[in-house]
Amino acid sequence: MDCVTTSSCSRLTSAVHSSLRNGNFSTSAPPLGLVGSWIGHYLLENLPRTARYDARVPTPILVGAEPFSVAGGPIGVVVLHGFTGTPQSMRPLATALAAAGFSVELPLLPGHGTSVADMVSTRWPDWSSVAEAAYGELAGRCDRVFAAGLSMGGTLAIWLAERHPDIAGIIAVNPLVDPPSSSFRDMLSGMLEEGAVSVPAIGSDIAMQGAPESAYDASPIEPMLSMFDGVDEIAARLGEVRCPVLLLSSRTDHVVPSESGDLLAARAPGPVERVWLERSFHVATLDHDAPELEARAVAFVNKVAVPAMSETERLISPEEVRHVARLARLALDDDEVGRYAVQLSAILEHVDAVRRLDTADVPPTAHPFPVENVLRPDTETLSLDRETVLAQAPVAEDDRFRVPRIMGEAP
């Protein structure tokens, strides 16, 4: 941001952040009209002008802001980024969830990841509709679906939970839940009346050095006010969040006060597991506690999803998974055994469903496209001597390698 003086820019940033943290202004502050007038005048005079947005000219997506999608197992997770942020802030968490075998959808919310000008015309319904579409896409191909989000992304995850009683659970990282005060909104409205378009950026609140967030350098006012309307909506319906909740709260957060997490923990009737992140600021997904955050998120999904599949639903039992793991010389803990039992059972269920398809009128084919294999001419060559090969076998029987049975053999 270009500022006339460092001190004036600092005063503006401090005023906005203080209002967000405290929810109001001190009694010694100038009257609201003067505050709005001063900030609006300052922004008009000193902030860079935003180029007019032309929808006919697509804006390139910022590097790292691309959506992320992985078709994994029968458990899906919608992952949502925050206000003015991008999928870059959530990609490590999304990658960890995908590595655990889950299907993952991390969309780029409308107006994000390109330019501030693109975001000015977007509103809460635009972002929530994309979250809804991602949830619906996963629900169409997964047995159980979770939602995870940072900041406004956490707000959207709660919004999904309030509208989908069948959602398996949510993971909320420093979500905005407590509606900002009317005085702060009035200040922003006053700035709009003065002609201001945006306020200083709130991105990259990260304690760890050298880990910037890919976010805009300004926060557009009208979309921010629309987000607050969405927060009003979800705050009024917290009593409908009956699914399990993993709430991850940074002890020091300069963007969203911890009282938002307090409100969610107090009003959500479902089980809430709260974890305090002691070394991270707001964007905890890119901060010191990111490894713990990822591990807890994966463990949470496994803990909630695995018991939901009953023993009778599983075609592979945990004991069979342990037996195969021993044969493969794999060391698995109880959580991994349970997860693999569910995932392998889902694979066998899909195979069984394919086997039941009626293919009587489908002509047999070896390949979906009309191609032919190109084979080399048959030529005789010397092969390995049978006795030489069998001499390498740990155990041989009847001129064959003897290997342990995989299934059907007592553990």
Q: Which residue has the higher pLDDT, 131 or 210?
A: 131
Q: Which residue has the higher pLDDT, 99 or 306?
A: 99
Looking at the fold, whether 143 and 287 belong to one and the same domain comes out as yes
CB atoms under 10 Å from CB of 408, counted, come to 6
Looking at the fold, whether 282 and 173 belong to one and the same domain comes out as yes
58: confidence class by pLDDT, cuts 50, 70, 90: low
**Spatial separation of the C-alpha atoms in residues 348 and 306, rounded to whole Å:** 16
Question: Are 153 and 81 a contacting pair, CB within 8 Å?
Answer: yes
Give the helix/strand (H/E) hosting 119.
Answer: helix 116-119
**Spatial separation of the C-alpha atoms in residues 260 and 279, rounded to whole Å:** 19
Q: Is the pLDDT of residue 250 over 50?
A: yes
Q: What average pLDDT does this structure show over 128-151? A: 96
What are the residues whose beta carbons fall under 8 Å from the beta carbon of 185, sequence distance 6 or more?
225, 228
Q: How many separate domains does the chain show?
A: 2
Q: What average pLDDT does this structure show over 161-188? A: 96
The percent of residues above 90 in pLDDT, for the chain, comes to 55
Query: What is the pLDDT at residue 279?
Result: 96
Which tokens sit at 45?
């005079």
Which of 308, 341, 375 is at the close of a domain?
308
385: confidence class by pLDDT, cuts 50, 70, 90: confident
Q: Is residue 361 part of a domain?
A: no
Query: What is the pLDDT at residue 29?
Result: 33
Q: Is residue 376 part of a domain?
A: no
Q: Is the pLDDT of residue 36 over 80?
A: no
CB atoms under 10 Å from CB of 2, counted, come to 7
Average pLDDT, the chain: 82
Looking at the fold, whether 228 and 209 belong to one and the same domain comes out as yes
Looking at the fold, whether 111 and 206 belong to one and the same domain comes out as yes
Residue 253 catalytic? Answer: yes
What are the residues whose beta carbons fall under 8 Å from the beta carbon of 302, sequence distance 6 or more?
100, 335, 338, 339
Looking at the fold, whether 316 and 286 belong to one and the same domain comes out as no
CB atoms under 10 Å from CB of 323, counted, come to 19
Q: What average pLDDT does this structure show over 46-70? A: 63
Single out the residue of 76, 136, 137, 66 nearest to residue 101, CA to CA.
76
Q: Is residue 96 part of a domain?
A: yes
Kindly give the residue spans of alpha helices, DSSP state H, lying in 362-407: 386-390
Residues present in the chain in total: 411
Query: What is the pLDDT at residue 144?
Result: 92
**Spatial separation of the C-alpha atoms in residues 333 and 348, rounded to whole Å:** 22
Query: What is the pLDDT at residue 9?
Result: 40
Residue 183 catalytic? Answer: no
Q: Is residue 47 part of a domain?
A: no
Single out the residue of 104, 114, 64 nearest to residue 80, CA to CA.
104
309: confidence class by pLDDT, cuts 50, 70, 90: low
Looking at the fold, whether 266 and 293 belong to one and the same domain comes out as yes
Q: Is residue 123 part of a domain?
A: yes
Looking at the fold, whether 102 and 116 belong to one and the same domain comes out as yes
Q: What average pLDDT does this structure show over 47-72? A: 66
The number of CA neighbours under 13 Å toward the Cβ of 317 is 8
Q: Is residue 8 part of a domain?
A: no
Q: What average pLDDT does this structure show over 206-213? A: 90
What single DSSP character describes residue 180?
A: P
Q: Is residue 14 part of a domain?
A: no
Buried b (16+ CB within 10 A) or exposed e, 254-272: ebbbbebbebbbebbeeeb
**Spatial separation of the C-alpha atoms in residues 134 and 123, rounded to whole Å:** 18
Looking at the fold, whether 150 and 123 belong to one and the same domain comes out as yes
What are the residues whose beta carbons fall under 8 Å from the beta carbon of 96, sequence distance 6 or more?
294, 295, 297, 298
Give whole-number Cα distances, 288 to 164, 174, 293, 313, in Å: 33, 15, 10, 40
Taking only the tens place, the pLDDT of each residue in 157-168 is 999 999 999 999
Q: What average pLDDT does this structure show over 205-212? A: 90
Q: Is residue 398 part of a domain?
A: no
Burial class (CB in 10 A: 0-12, 13-18, 19+), 318: middle
Q: What average pLDDT does this structure show over 385-411? A: 79
314: confidence class by pLDDT, cuts 50, 70, 90: low
Query: What is the pLDDT at residue 127?
Result: 97
Looking at the fold, whether 280 and 319 belong to one and the same domain comes out as no
Any idea of the CA torsion for 114, 116, 122, 127, to the nearest 10 degrees? Answer: 50
Buried b (16+ CB within 10 A) or exposed e, 154-172: bbbbbbbbbebeebbbbbb
The most confident of the ranges 29-43, 238-252, 344-358 is 238-252
282, 289, 323, 345: the catalytic one is 282
Q: Is the pLDDT of residue 395 over 70?
A: yes
Question: Are 113 and 179 a contacting pair, CB within 8 Å?
Answer: no
**Helices 124-139 and 152-163 sit at what angle, rounded to 10 degrees?**
60
Q: What domain range includes position 159? A: 68-179+198-308
Taking only the tens place, the pLDDT of each residue in 69-90 is 999 888 999 999 999 999 999 9
118, 205, 253, 289: the catalytic one is 253
CA 186 from chain centre, in angstroms, equals: 32
Q: Is the pLDDT of residue 257 over 80?
A: yes
Query: What is the pLDDT at residue 311?
Result: 57
**Spatial separation of the C-alpha atoms in residues 249 and 262, rounded to whole Å:** 9
Give whole-number Cα distances, 353 to 181, 291, 346, 356, in Å: 54, 38, 10, 5
151, 198, 249, 280: the catalytic one is 151
Query: What is the pLDDT at residue 310?
Result: 55
Q: Is the pLDDT of residue 103 over 50?
A: yes
Which tokens sit at 397?
């029987």
Q: What average pLDDT does this structure show over 381-389? A: 85
Residue 345 catalytic? Answer: no
Looking at the fold, whether 218 and 247 belong to one and the same domain comes out as yes
Looking at the fold, whether 254 and 321 belong to one and the same domain comes out as no
Q: Is the pLDDT of residue 306 over 70?
A: no
CATH code for the domain in which residue 344 is found: 1.10.20.60
Looking at the fold, whether 273 and 298 belong to one and the same domain comes out as yes
Q: Is the pLDDT of residue 408 over 80?
A: no
383: confidence class by pLDDT, cuts 50, 70, 90: confident
Residue type, 144: R
What single DSSP character describes residue 203?
A: -
CATH code for the domain in which residue 252 is found: 3.40.50.1820
